């Protein structure tokens, strides 16, 4: 009898947690981070035609509105969602690449947001149709956030794989072969962690890691996550479904820069067209290096020009 009661209670907790999580995701509106930006009216060529964007001079932006380490500590994954895409771009353009991550990083994603309540895509379309596009984008964002849970980095071998957390989706996609895919136990974050401290996720979609030029801002490098030739990673690659993201599929290319230790802001491109923003967070790295970061100590760097500056200062 006790087993039935405990099992029933666990089901109730999961249902309640799922409902709370959905409404929190859908209706919670965090405050934007209190960091400097170019004013909104400076970011448009014509306020009556918001699709005609002013091209940001990131060098001038960083000179006039530098992001201090204290500013970067104010930025959180939730607060980034409260910003327009132009503001997210301005944050990304002022960040260093930082060190190539290692280990499990929890992920979150959000689609480009326009100046008003529309998504960027809905804003571009405009009118009633734009509103319908905005609703569709919101649903897609929610679905994608349920499916994708983050990335696992292998710094030594310069590769990564993605955490996928939807067994039903995988079984529908690849059938019985889903049982052959590698899984990993990942620690949960948030209030459910005390009930269910870990969850099983699948390791899919391998990619290569290297430093390379950002598609947004070429003044400094980003850490590139490249799926183009993931079939070269024979020990990690499964043709179905890993080919979906490679050069024969959606041609995905990600890039990331470090907001602060343990926290990266990323941009995903499909065939070199910007698609969405994402965040990566490792609480253990954040806790271990936060104090050193705030007092100005180096937390490492691998990409140009920060890596060159570190090498020069060590000579």
Q: Could you read off the pLDDT tens digit of each residue along the chain, which spans 315 residues?
A: 544 444 444 434 334 444 444 444 444 568 999 999 986 555 444 445 544 456 788 999 999 999 999 999 999 999 999 999 999 999 999 999 999 999 999 999 988 765 555 544 444 444 444 444 454 455 556 557 678 999 999 999 999 999 998 777 777 777 777 778 899 999 888 766 677 788 889 999 999 999 999 999 989 999 999 999 999 999 999 998 899 899 999 899 999 999 999 999 999 998 998 989 999 999 999 999 999 999 999 999 999 998 776 554 444
pTM of the complete model: 0.81
Q: Which residue has the tokens 């690659």?
A: 237
Specify the pLDDT at position 302.
96
pLDDT of residue 100: 98
At residue 132, the pLDDT reads 45
Does residue 248 have a cis peptide bond before it, meaning omega lies within 30 degrees of 0? no
Please give the pLDDT value at position 167.
72
**Which residue bears the tokens 């679905």?**
143
Q: Say what the pLDDT of residue 184 is.
A: 92
Phi, psi dihedrals of residue 140, rounded to the nearest 5°:
-65, -40
The residue with tokens 């570190």 is: 310
Count CB neighbours of 204 within 10 A. 22
pLDDT on residue 171 = 75
Residue 311 pLDDT? 52
Please report how many Cα atoms fall inside a 13 Å half-sphere around the Cα of residue 207, on the Cβ side.
Answer: 26
Please, which residues have CB within 8 angstroms of residue 282's CB and are 6 or more apart in sequence? Answer: 101, 103, 104, 105, 106, 262, 263
Residue 15: CA atoms inside 13 Å, Cβ hemisphere, count?
6
Among candidate residues 146, 151, 142, the one with its CA nearest the CA of residue 111: 142
Instruction: Give residue 188's pLDDT.
Output: 86
| Angle at the Cα of 44 from the Cα atoms of 40 and 45, rounded to 5 degrees | 150
Q: Shortest CA distance to 31 belongs to which of 104, 85, 83, 91?
A: 83
């Amino acid at each position: 009898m006790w087993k039935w009661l405990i099992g029933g209670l666990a089901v109730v907790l999961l249902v309640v947690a799922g409902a709370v999580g959905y409404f929190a995701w859908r209706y919670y509106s965090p405050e934007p981070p209190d960091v400097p930006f170019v004013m909104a009216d400076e970011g448009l060529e014509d306020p009556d035609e918001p699709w005609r964007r002013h091209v940001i001079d990131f060098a001038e932006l960083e000179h006039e509105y530098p992001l201090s380490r204290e500013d970067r500590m104010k930025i959180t994954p939730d607060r980034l969602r409260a910003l327009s895409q132009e503001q997210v771009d301005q944050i990304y353009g002022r960040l260093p690449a930082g060190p190539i991550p290692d280990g499990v990083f929890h992920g979150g994603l959000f689609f480009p947001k326009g100046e008003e309540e529309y998504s960027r895509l809905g804003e571009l379309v405009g009118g009633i149709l734009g509103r319908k596009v905005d609703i569709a984008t919101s649903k897609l964002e929610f679905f994608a956030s349920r499916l994708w849970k983050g990335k696992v980095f292998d710094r030594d071998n310069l590769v990564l794989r993605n955490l996928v957390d939807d067994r039903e989706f995988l079984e529908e996609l690849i059938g019985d072969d889903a049982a052959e895919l590698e899984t990993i136990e990942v620690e949960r974050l948030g209030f459910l962690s005390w009930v269910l401290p870990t969850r099983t996720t699948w390791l899919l979609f391998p990619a290569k890691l290297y430093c390379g030029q950002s598609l947004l801002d070429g003044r400094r490098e980003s850490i590139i996550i490249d799926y183009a030739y993931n079939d070269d990673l024979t020990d990690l690659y499964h043709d179905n479904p890993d080919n979906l993201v490679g050069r024969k599929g959606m041609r995905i290319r990600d890039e990331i820069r470090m907001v602060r230790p343990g926290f990266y802001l990323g941009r995903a491109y499909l065939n070199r067209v910007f698609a969405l923003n994402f965040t990566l967070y490792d609480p253990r790295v954040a806790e271990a290096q936060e104090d050193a970061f705030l007092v100005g100590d180096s937390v490492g760097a691998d990409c140009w020009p920060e890596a060159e500056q570190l090498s020069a200062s060590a000579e």
